[in-house]
Structure 1
């Protein structure tokens, strides 16, 4: 555990240096300077302010608004179109930030970043606990560290909810692993208000419950009740935020219409952004077959012996969550960050999840190669997707 924490902290320090360097040389973004959620800001006077400006940028601006003012009672519109607004962001993280700010007297940037970092480090520890029985202690630590080194891992030190979401996600999967149904039910309710992951997690719950029902050990009445409570919690977690947004604004589709505004559309059409990207890459005629082929190849790898040691729940999560990302997210810009929650995949990349694992030396070599690739991509992610900071809120 100590090694995981030390390496995790070291990686956050390295990311901080990369972020500071990029923040000191901001880039303008055409079309959104001064727009909602992206106010124009002067150049930072110091490296420290440059770092904190980047750490609280983009979605962090919205979380700051929620922590300070809550959610609007009506959806903002312009010429009849729903504008970007706070209802796209779930409340557990900004509420936790607000409460911690009141208790400590610290500012939003420090509080939000601290919660994100602590949550991600705690998640790394739980990843080791969850993966050790499957792939062994060394490989489990390697996987946790690779998640902390992933291209979008600087998000874990920004005022974003990815750190808390990863912590809750791994905790739910760990509870399911030990068949602690009521614990999983309580955590599912929290997950449903932290990140939009309740729907793919519900698929995992369904698969795990079905496997338990088909096992040799019979279900007793008390366990049936606990499982029923978990199923009910999954249903509530999946729709809770949509219902809350509806009750608060009076608009039945408040959440979905707000999400669609980030797609510059009236409604979200599943997989449309991925299909558009595929068509831009290989041409209109081949776009759909190419996309279907890539998804099929991904699923084939996860159901093959290459990933067999992950077990049913983790493989189901990796499949269900990727399909959820493809159905409801924008291509590229957000997906790199969303992929942080696919934490079991590094075990596949280094060969630790295979039924017949390669020698330890080969796994170590693979882990080093993946780590170097991740850190290299992290530089590009910071410079190309995170760096446009002339549109950030001053700290």
Structure 2
């Protein structure tokens, strides 16, 4: 008789064990958000207004309206055919999550801020995992921190959907690297229901699926993923098309804010004015941010990264810089392009901790001042 072999049980790691390596990234994310809100409070106090006036204002008021009333607002075109501002321009996932918290009695604004906070922590966690798997835990922490202290970072403590978008994108790319195709498809559906910028992720996932099919990898799963990925975005655009009775309904609604695709002409004109004329200080700072983003984009092309990262980052930057109107929002539009921070993270990872302890808080303060200055002093949406 052969001796019986003992049963070997493989213990699955607990949630705490899975989260523990990401705690420094999540903790620093929370710390820098508190710092940024403190700067907003100080500038608001100087301007004689409450910081609470801003955290739920601008786009946040639209998201809250959708959470409370759904898309019940009538569509009212003006005499020239231009539509009035309408809540249908705002994608549904963020207000839906806000409304779900409202079902347990949480008021709308605190519910929206809770979604923002939890999504931001999830984004920091996902970015840590991306960076760790790419170049080690130190790069993972820096990737999460650099994203959170970017010039568009103030919306990460406001009722905005950028944190939710980045959380979904980050975890989608993690799943894609692990070839979990069906999970990638489902997460991309939710991304398409969060913001129109989810189209950049759909393109990255679609190309990755095509490459896998040509290489005959993973059977039918890449095809299923590629078919699932655009359903969220296309589904919402189709819903808006039916509501507006126009195939281009969502894009038509953007005319209410004078938003359109202009291939970068508006951004170029504003950046040139900010750098060459006696323009307002915020225009000059925003122009420098745009130039910095272009330089970082070129740097990413010279950095070896997974192809889906490159595709997603490049398309996101193009979307951010090729839309008209609201020049000051360029920093926010660039916030989802966290791929731009990868070369910086790789560079900063070589520095000692004492240098990072100076550079990172200094960068966070500058970024927080920029966003708070726009809102509290210039009275512009970030």
TM-score, normalised via structure 2 length? 0.81
Structure-2 change in CA distance of 1:341 and 1:318 (3 Å): same
What SS class does the counterpart of residue 360 from structure 1 fall into?
A: coil
8 Å contact from structure 2 (residues 209, 226) kept in 1: no
1:373 matched to which residue of 2?
363
1:85 matched to which residue of 2?
86
Q: Residues of 2 paired with 1:154 and 1:374: CA distance?
A: 10
2:58 matched to which residue of 1?
58
The range that moved more, 169-178 or 194-203, is 194-203
The two structures, once aligned, show a CA RMSD in angstroms of 3.0
Q: Residues of 2 paired with 1:315 and 1:152: CA distance?
A: 20
Which stretches of structure 1, 4 residues or more, deviate above 4 A after TM superposition?
A: 293-299, 388-392
| Offset from partner CA, 1:56-101 (integer Å, 9 cap, x none) | 0111111111111122453233333212221221011111101111
1:255 matched to which residue of 2?
250
Structure-2 change in CA distance of 1:84 and 1:149 (3 Å): same
Does 1:314 pair with 2:303?
no
- Matched ranges for 1:82-121 at <5 A: 82-102=83-103, 104-121=104-121
Q: Residues of 1 paired with 2:314 and 2:323: CA distance?
A: 15
1:286 matched to which residue of 2?
none
User: Paired residues, what number?
Assistant: 347
CA shift for structure 1 position 366: 6.6
CA shift for structure 1 position 163: 1.3
Q: Residues of 1 paired with 2:31 and 2:214: CA distance?
A: 45
What SS class does the counterpart of residue 327 from structure 2 fall into?
A: coil
Q: Residues of 2 paired with 1:187 and 1:213: CA distance?
A: 20
Q: Residues of 2 paired with 1:22 and 1:282: CA distance?
A: 25
With a CA cutoff of 8 Å and minimum separation of 6, indicate the structure with the bigger relative contact order: 1
CA shift for structure 1 position 279: 5.1
What SS class does the counterpart of residue 328 from structure 1 fall into?
A: coil
What SS class does the counterpart of residue 79 from structure 1 fall into?
A: coil
1:23 matched to which residue of 2?
44
8 Å contact from structure 2 (residues 120, 163) kept in 1: yes
Please, which runs of 5 or more residues in structure 2 have no aligned partner? 1-21, 277-290
2:240 matched to which residue of 1?
245
1:303 matched to which residue of 2?
301
8 Å contact from structure 2 (residues 139, 346) kept in 1: no
Does 1:12 pair with 2:13?
no
TM-score, normalised via structure 1 length? 0.78
CA shift for structure 1 position 295: 8.5
Structure-2 change in CA distance of 1:183 and 1:55 (3 Å): same
Q: Residues of 1 paired with 2:237 and 2:253: CA distance?
A: 11
Q: Residues of 1 paired with 2:332 and 2:293: CA distance?
A: 19
Q: Residues of 1 paired with 2:313 and 2:242: CA distance?
A: 33
What SS class does the counterpart of residue 179 from structure 1 fall into?
A: coil
Q: Residues of 2 paired with 1:368 and 1:3: CA distance?
A: 17
Structure-2 change in CA distance of 1:391 and 1:298 (3 Å): closer
1:360 matched to which residue of 2?
350
The range that moved more, 359-368 or 113-122, is 359-368
1:172 matched to which residue of 2?
172
What SS class does the counterpart of residue 344 from structure 1 fall into?
A: helix
8 Å contact from structure 1 (residues 245, 255) kept in 2: yes
Please, which runs of 5 or more residues in structure 1 have no aligned partner? 28-42, 44-49, 284-292, 353-357
Q: Residues of 1 paired with 2:349 and 2:94: CA distance?
A: 42
- Matched ranges for 1:265-304 at <5 A: 268-278=261-271, 280=273, 299-304=297-302
